[in-house]
Protein backbone atom coordinates (compact mmCIF):
# COMPACT_ATOMS: atom_id res chain seq x y z
CA UNK A 1 0.00 0.00 0.00
CA UNK A 2 1.84 3.09 -1.27
CA UNK A 3 0.43 5.63 1.19
CA UNK A 4 0.47 3.44 4.27
CA UNK A 5 2.82 4.81 6.93
CA UNK A 6 3.42 1.39 8.49
CA UNK A 7 4.30 -0.12 5.07
CA UNK A 8 6.83 2.71 4.62
CA UNK A 9 8.26 2.11 8.09
CA UNK A 10 8.45 -1.65 7.43
CA UNK A 11 10.34 -0.93 4.18
CA UNK A 12 12.66 1.51 6.02
CA UNK A 13 11.48 4.31 3.74
CA UNK A 14 10.38 6.28 6.80
CA UNK A 15 12.55 6.30 9.93
CA UNK A 16 11.26 4.79 13.15
CA UNK A 17 12.54 3.84 16.56
CA UNK A 18 12.98 0.20 15.62
CA UNK A 19 13.47 -2.12 18.55
CA UNK A 20 13.47 -5.48 16.78
CA UNK A 21 12.64 -7.01 13.41
CA UNK A 22 12.75 -10.16 11.35
CA UNK A 23 11.64 -10.86 7.76
CA UNK A 24 7.95 -10.71 8.66
CA UNK A 25 7.62 -8.21 11.52
CA UNK A 26 9.01 -4.89 12.65
CA UNK A 27 8.66 -3.68 16.24
CA UNK A 28 8.86 0.07 16.82
CA UNK A 29 8.39 2.50 19.67
CA UNK A 30 4.99 4.20 19.56
CA UNK A 31 5.66 7.95 19.18
CA UNK A 32 2.58 8.64 21.34
CA UNK A 33 3.14 6.14 24.13
CA UNK A 34 0.59 5.34 26.81
CA UNK A 35 3.67 4.69 28.98
CA UNK A 36 7.37 4.86 28.14
CA UNK A 37 8.38 1.64 26.41
CA UNK A 38 5.07 1.29 24.53
CA UNK A 39 5.82 -0.74 21.39
CA UNK A 40 3.95 -1.57 18.19
CA UNK A 41 4.31 -5.03 16.64
CA UNK A 42 3.68 -4.57 12.91
CA UNK A 43 3.51 -7.24 10.19
CA UNK A 44 5.63 -6.12 7.22
CA UNK A 45 3.02 -7.25 4.67
CA UNK A 46 0.09 -4.87 4.47
CA UNK A 47 -3.01 -6.27 6.07
CA UNK A 48 -5.67 -3.95 7.41
CA UNK A 49 -6.66 -5.62 10.65
CA UNK A 50 -5.07 -8.12 13.00
CA UNK A 51 -7.80 -10.68 12.39
CA UNK A 52 -7.11 -10.63 8.62
CA UNK A 53 -3.62 -12.07 9.15
CA UNK A 54 -3.34 -15.75 8.29
CA UNK A 55 -3.13 -18.06 11.29
CA UNK A 56 0.66 -18.45 11.16
CA UNK A 57 1.25 -14.69 10.97
CA UNK A 58 -1.32 -14.05 13.70
CA UNK A 59 0.34 -16.61 15.98
CA UNK A 60 3.76 -15.11 15.24
CA UNK A 61 2.56 -11.60 16.16
CA UNK A 62 1.65 -12.82 19.62
CA UNK A 63 4.81 -14.95 19.87
CA UNK A 64 6.79 -11.76 19.19
CA UNK A 65 4.80 -10.02 21.95
CA UNK A 66 5.66 -12.87 24.31
CA UNK A 67 9.34 -12.82 23.31
CA UNK A 68 9.65 -9.06 23.89
CA UNK A 69 7.58 -8.86 27.07
CA UNK A 70 10.46 -9.72 29.43
CA UNK A 71 12.96 -7.33 27.84
CA UNK A 72 10.34 -4.54 27.94
CA UNK A 73 9.50 -5.32 31.56
CA UNK A 74 13.18 -5.23 32.54
CA UNK A 75 13.82 -2.00 30.60
CA UNK A 76 10.83 -0.20 32.14
CA UNK A 77 10.51 -1.83 35.60
CA UNK A 78 6.86 -2.38 34.70
CA UNK A 79 4.63 -4.45 36.98
CA UNK A 80 2.83 -6.03 34.00
CA UNK A 81 2.95 -5.95 30.22
CA UNK A 82 -0.36 -5.32 28.49
CA UNK A 83 -1.46 -6.16 24.96
CA UNK A 84 -4.04 -4.13 23.07
CA UNK A 85 -5.53 -4.22 19.58
CA UNK A 86 -7.87 -1.49 18.42
CA UNK A 87 -7.06 -0.55 14.86
CA UNK A 88 -8.55 2.93 14.84
CA UNK A 89 -5.30 4.80 14.29
CA UNK A 90 -3.60 3.30 11.22
CA UNK A 91 -5.28 0.91 8.77
CA UNK A 92 -2.39 -1.54 8.93
CA UNK A 93 -2.58 -4.27 11.54
CA UNK A 94 -0.57 -3.73 14.71
CA UNK A 95 -0.47 -5.03 18.25
CA UNK A 96 0.32 -2.65 21.12
CA UNK A 97 2.72 -3.97 23.76
CA UNK A 98 2.48 -1.65 26.74
CA UNK A 99 4.37 -1.62 30.04
CA UNK A 100 1.94 -1.14 32.91
CA UNK A 101 2.65 0.05 36.43
CA UNK A 102 -0.90 -0.24 37.76
CA UNK A 103 -4.47 -1.03 36.78
CA UNK A 104 -6.43 1.12 34.29
CA UNK A 105 -3.34 2.31 32.43
CA UNK A 106 -4.23 0.40 29.26
CA UNK A 107 -6.11 3.44 28.05
CA UNK A 108 -5.41 5.24 24.75
CA UNK A 109 -6.51 8.54 26.32
CA UNK A 110 -3.23 8.44 28.24
CA UNK A 111 -1.16 8.53 25.02
CA UNK A 112 1.07 11.59 24.78
CA UNK A 113 3.65 12.54 22.16
CA UNK A 114 7.08 11.63 23.50
CA UNK A 115 10.35 13.50 23.19
CA UNK A 116 12.42 11.98 20.32
CA UNK A 117 15.49 11.63 22.53
CA UNK A 118 13.42 9.76 25.15
CA UNK A 119 12.05 7.44 22.44
CA UNK A 120 15.55 6.76 21.11
CA UNK A 121 16.94 6.13 24.60
CA UNK A 122 14.11 3.76 25.52
CA UNK A 123 14.38 1.88 22.19
CA UNK A 124 18.08 1.42 22.86
CA UNK A 125 17.44 0.26 26.42
CA UNK A 126 14.93 -2.35 25.24
CA UNK A 127 17.33 -3.49 22.50
CA UNK A 128 20.01 -4.00 25.15
CA UNK A 129 17.59 -6.13 27.19
CA UNK A 130 16.69 -8.16 24.08
CA UNK A 131 20.39 -8.85 23.55
CA UNK A 132 20.72 -9.92 27.18
CA UNK A 133 22.28 -6.69 28.50
CA UNK A 134 25.18 -6.70 26.04
ZN1 LIG B 1 0.48 -0.94 5.28
Judged on CB neighbours under 10 Å (0-12, 13-18, 19+), 57 is middle
How far does the centroid of ligand 1 lie from the alpha carbon of residue 4, in Å? 4
Classified by CATH at the fold level, domain 5-130 comes out as HIT family, subunit A (3.30.428)
Q: Can you give the pLDDT at residue 87?
A: 85
pLDDT value of residue 133 = 72
Residue 2 has pLDDT above 90, yes or no: no
Q: How far is the CA of 95 from the centre of ligand 1 (A)?
A: 14
**pLDDT cut 70: percent of the chain above it:** 99
Asked whether residue 134 carries a pLDDT value surpassing 70, the answer given is no
Model pTM?
Answer: 0.96
116: pLDDT strictly greater than 80: yes
Q: Are residues 90 and 6 in contact, defined by beta-carbon separation less than 8 angstroms?
A: yes
What pLDDT, on a 0 to 100 scale, did the predictor assign at position 40?
A: 98
Percent above pLDDT 90 for the chain: 94
Distance 38 CA to ligand 1 centre (A): 20
Is a pLDDT exceeding 90 seen at residue 1?
no
44: CA distance to ligand 1 center in Å? 8
Q: What is the pLDDT of residues 60-113, one digit of tens each?
A: 999 999 999 999 999 999 999 999 999 888 999 999 999 999 999 999 999 999
Closest CA to 28 of 37, 17, 36, 14: 17
Amino acid sequence: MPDCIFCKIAAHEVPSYTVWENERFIVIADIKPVNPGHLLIIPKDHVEVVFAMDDARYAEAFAVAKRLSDPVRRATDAAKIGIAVEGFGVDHAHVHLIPLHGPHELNPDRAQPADPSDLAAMAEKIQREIRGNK
